[in-house]
Copies of this chain bind each other. A is one copy, B any other.
Amino acid sequence: MKNNKLNIFLVEDDTNLGTILKEALEMSDYNVSLYKDGDEGWNNFTKGTFDICLLDVMMPKKDGFSLAAEIRKVDTAVPIIFLTAKSLKEDKIEGFKVGADDYITKPFSMEELELRIEAILRRTNKNQSDTNEQKIFNIGKFLFNYDERTLIIDGKSQNLTTKEAALLRLLCIYQNNLLERDVALKSVWHDDNYFTGRSMDVYITKLRKYLKEDEHIEIINVHGSGFRLMIK
């Protein structure tokens, strides 16, 4: 985390295999965070910043595909490699559907795994410039530029803070659909607890204040679930 090593997010329920992988990858100069099931993984994913995810498919609590789907809700870019015992075709298809970047069937050699990790990192680092994250959004009369953190209406430009922009971006991505509280909290605050929840409510108020200049735009609350950016 503190140094310039690349961070690997590893979730593997087989403790022996998990530890061996962790140690071997650390020998190859990666930082490795190991979690023993999908739930534990999901609870820690947003707490750190990871360069690549290695997920076992078959795990108790939350399988690898479900975990990958959750990760994709808050991070559409981080590369994901599945580790699996089976080589079933349907499993592969399922894996790629939830956004996998590669797939490796057990048993595999450390050399093979590392080659794939390197290949993916090479690919994603090279393309770091053009990620698939949308940066500019049209919301009703507004033009919202996430990168520049500006919200422009009728030529008037309002500067947004980092958190305001991050939350608004999420609402835009989910526009007209429900943005669940936990998704927003994990994505923007990297933590889901009482206080970050209160904080988010404050930011919702701020965004509503900005957005009220266009009466066709509304942030609707869905009690107990989350918010919806409605564009009428």
Chain A interface (Cβ < 8 Å from any Cβ of B)? 76, 92-93, 96-97, 99-103, 105, 108, 112, 115-116, 119, 122-125, 130, 132, 134, 136, 138, 143, 147-149, 161-163, 172-177, 220, 222-223, 225, 230, 232
Contact assessment for B138 and A112 in the assembled complex, using a CB-CB cutoff below 8 Å? no
Q: Which chain B residues lie closer than 8 Å to A230 at the CB level? A: 147-148
| Residues A125 and B177 in contact in the complex (CB < 8 Å), given A136-B103, A230-B147 | yes
Contact yes or no, A173 B132, CB < 8 A: no
Is the CB–CB distance between A123 and B223 below 8 Å?
no
Query: Which 7 A-B pairs give the minimum distances between C-beta atoms?
Result: A115-B132, A123-B175, A162-B222, A96-B136, A112-B132, A162-B223, A96-B143
How many copies of this chain does the complex contain? 2
Smallest CB–CB gap between A58 and chain B, Å? 19
27 intermolecular pairs with C-beta atoms under 8 Å apart: A96-B136, A96-B138, A96-B143, A99-B138, A100-B138, A101-B138, A102-B134, A103-B136, A105-B130, A108-B130, A112-B130, A112-B132, A115-B132, A116-B132, A119-B132, A119-B134, A119-B173, A123-B172, A123-B173, A123-B175, A124-B176, A125-B177, A147-B176, A147-B230, A148-B230, A148-B232, A161-B223
